[in-house]
Structure 1
């Protein structure tokens, strides 16, 4: 393989490539159009190509793998520290090249098309739920301007609006009546879109052996199982379950100076959506009668939210172990200490 490392600053139309000749030390910079980028790398010997993990990065990584290259994706937040001087495409490409020499920067796993498709499905569902909440809040605020106060909660508010619609219309102008009708139709369409998305997620869970295995973990539902399956892949991107849980921001952060280290709250790094699903599932386990003795003991001595995060951390580690080692979930399984040589 070629010893040269190429850094690519990705964009929609114009790409910047930065590399240094390992023999002469000569610095090269090249600006390429989208059509020319594939052609440029197709003519090269297999090499190491580094990019930021931004929009389109996984697509380009898959294309480069097909050409025989070894692409690497770096977290954009950590690359930013290496930008020197004014920020432009050339400076960004140089920063990516410099950051690539730091082995302590964790590489982002390259996702397959199926993984990204499942994640897109989850993002669409989240979008419609956010839109639904915003629409209900707007409807509630507009009605309040005419003296109509709807009860808290989406279901309760819409139910009262439907039951007392004739009474409310008496205090509303004709234009406002039409606007409320339109908002109610919009909410029905959004509810249908959410139902379709959830049906697709359920179908993915039934067809995926990985999601089926993860579904057996307490606190992991259909959403959590499919989202975990999409993020984990084969699990090889993480050395152990502890590293995977830390990548989701479920491990405590710390600050230290002068030899004194103070532990803080969780780091909240990584995917906030998946972290939310795991913690929500942990809260469901906390109020269930089937929770484990381990969880019960934590709840006895720690606040519920702290215990829920601890269970979410344990769930992330368990999920990694099941996928990485191809095992089925066993509630009675206990880790054994390594045997000394």
Structure 2
């Protein structure tokens, strides 16, 4: 039977276990120019020491005004490559593989003087009203994604994740709530995402899997649900996505009636439905901090990989402590062996 510590291979990506650290923005104060800092180095490398199989670095943006805040990372400049490459190399030394999430905040770019979006619709009355991108600007944005992916490959990442969830730019294009365009990118709301995917595939090695994070359900009146998500994901699969990272939410004010449950694993059924409908591997995420819950996601074949976010913010050695709790034999860094009852 499969479990959380069964190795996993997808194309040329070989993982020692199925534990994923999902992308979580650090909003690190020194990162004013989008360059990874010593904080980022310590943050990610400590999770590699802690036994994580796949670390996905936080949303890294394709242009300065595409960041959620001015303290987020970027890959719009060659100067940003070397600090990320340093992180990748160090994580590799401890047996972890490393991905990076490439994205653009669109209308949710809080520090942009004038955010851009598919349509001029503000996220809420506390956000700026974005400027609608022209058709030519949308095409130019695809190329910005391409160049960011090219730089990520140069930095040595093992996989690339595109951010198509949580109300950010790709999500804004495929959601009927935020895309009211009349041009080709409005008539086909998946066109922008598909073009970004194809551009990314042209930049990455043939054996490197491409991940897309999606919101499989919107918790807002008039938003889409899992059936619509399956349909647009079919388009993205055909464009070249190898692995879907299945989350939810992120668009519009979330009313009490539509708020996602606070129970553990509330997004796992969405991951399973997408996996079954598309016949593709998926990452499940959302309140999987309990090792037994994360292990059950793999053992029950709800998903191929399990992402643990808040649990890893609290404990950089979550994978090691999870292995101990589940009585799994894994490699413990020698200086730490005396602290664990389970060791190889």
- TM-score, normalized by the shorter chain, greater than 0.5: no
Higher helix share goes to which structure?
A: 1
Tell me which structure has the larger Cα radius of gyration: 1
Normalised to the residue count of structure 1, the TM-score between the two structures is 0.26
